[in-house]
Amino acid sequence: MFKLGQEITSDQAMRFSIETAKLGRGFVSPNPLVGCVIVDSQHKFLASGAHLRFGGEHAEINALKNLKDKSKLNGARVYVTLEPCAHEGKTGSCAKALSKYPIKEVYYGLKDPNPLVAGQGLEILIKNGIDTYPFGKYEEECEEVCEQFLYHIAHQKPFISMKVGTSLDGKIALASGESQWITGEEARKHSRNLRAHYDATLIGAGTFMFDDPLLDFRGTGYEHEKKNKVIILDPKGKAASSFKDSKINKKHGPKNVFVLTRSEFSEAWAQNLVHVINWDSSKDSWNQALKNLYNKGIASVFVEGGSYVFGQLLEHQLVQKIYMYQAPKVLGAGKSWSDFLKLESLSEAKVFKKWKTIPLGEDRLNILYF
């Protein structure tokens, strides 16, 4: 955190705006995460702000509010992760708000792909005498911080990440089905926190019936701040009869549960008063189901198993990112997270664009991007 009047570089300003944007994780969907830093004409820190809640003020407005002495904006520079918005929605236009002050320059990480903005925010600034420049250097980091927004705006369906807790040899359970716990407590708490960064959590019927999970945010800062939505993939309708007494029903209630199932099992699930979406295992059906979820307000999905769900999503190339929590254990014969992914040749192997590894206690978190 920088103090008022502290001199900072342009690199520091943009990096801090990226970190500041993350303060809104889990609360701004379907809007993007955005951070903003304002410095004076001598490049001394004035204020920062983030978009913290959907329907609340945007990052630029919060940064302006956090600056008590507006006279310091004469010749100021603004660093923002995403182009200031042009449109008037739940809040006013950030570009118009910035244009009210004698700001000299605005540096932005990314142009906003939203058709309601798409360069129009920059036009407003330029027409009001404010110079605008793409920052360039941290474009990849800016893309990562608002990856969910960039994807769903472009595709009109949810951004999908998979979470896998596995041994070194890729097992998520013993042959008996025993799986609690392969990874340690630090990794499990990290994944619960990560779960809260998404609009909904997806599990298969097997995971629902065998584990009876809570899928909550206990032990994190989101525990009393946010409700989780749950999606259950149930191809054979076998979980409908056990839903009433499940932890998911008791914790989240049917209005927050969405079920993807074949049409012949829709009625059985509908009796539980959940949202039922017809589905089969084809790619077209998956795409339609995902669009239906998107139209119901789900712009991002965190997938937590099991291997049938993983296999389906990988087969149809519907996953954008994988979080693989890997424990330093070898389980031998057992159930692999990729058991249901069937390939005919090595040329069909799923290849990641990039990956990085983070230590988590005794475990490791591999973050892989398609």
In this predicted structure, what is the pLDDT of residue 341? Answer: 86
**Rounded-to-integer distance, Cα 184 and Cα 293, Å:** 32
Is pTM beyond 0.85 here?
yes
Q: Of 166 and 119, which is predicted with more confidence?
A: 166
Round the average pLDDT of the chain to a whole number and report it. Answer: 93
Selecting among 60, 83, 147, 315, the annotated active-site residue is: 60
292 half-sphere exposure, CB direction, 13 A CA radius: 15
**Nearest 10 degrees: Cα torsion 224, 226, 227, 230:** -120
- pLDDT by residue (tens digit) across 67-114? 999 999 999 999 999 999 886 666 778 999 999 999 999 999 999 887
Task: Output the CA angle 84-90-92, nearest 5 degrees.
Answer: 45
**Rounded-to-integer distance, Cα 134 and Cα 122, Å:** 10
**Rounded-to-integer distance, Cα 31 and Cα 53, Å:** 9
Is-contact 138 18, C-beta < 8 A?
yes
Check whether 177 has a pLDDT greater than 80: no
- 3-class secondary structure, 301: strand
Q: What is the mean pLDDT of residues 40-45?
A: 96
Tokens of 292: 């239906």
Is-contact 317 349, C-beta < 8 A?
no
- 3-class secondary structure, 357: strand
In this predicted structure, what is the pLDDT of residue 117? Answer: 64
Active site residue 344: no
- pLDDT by residue (tens digit) across 313-362? 999 999 999 999 999 999 988 899 988 888 888 888 888 988 999 999 99
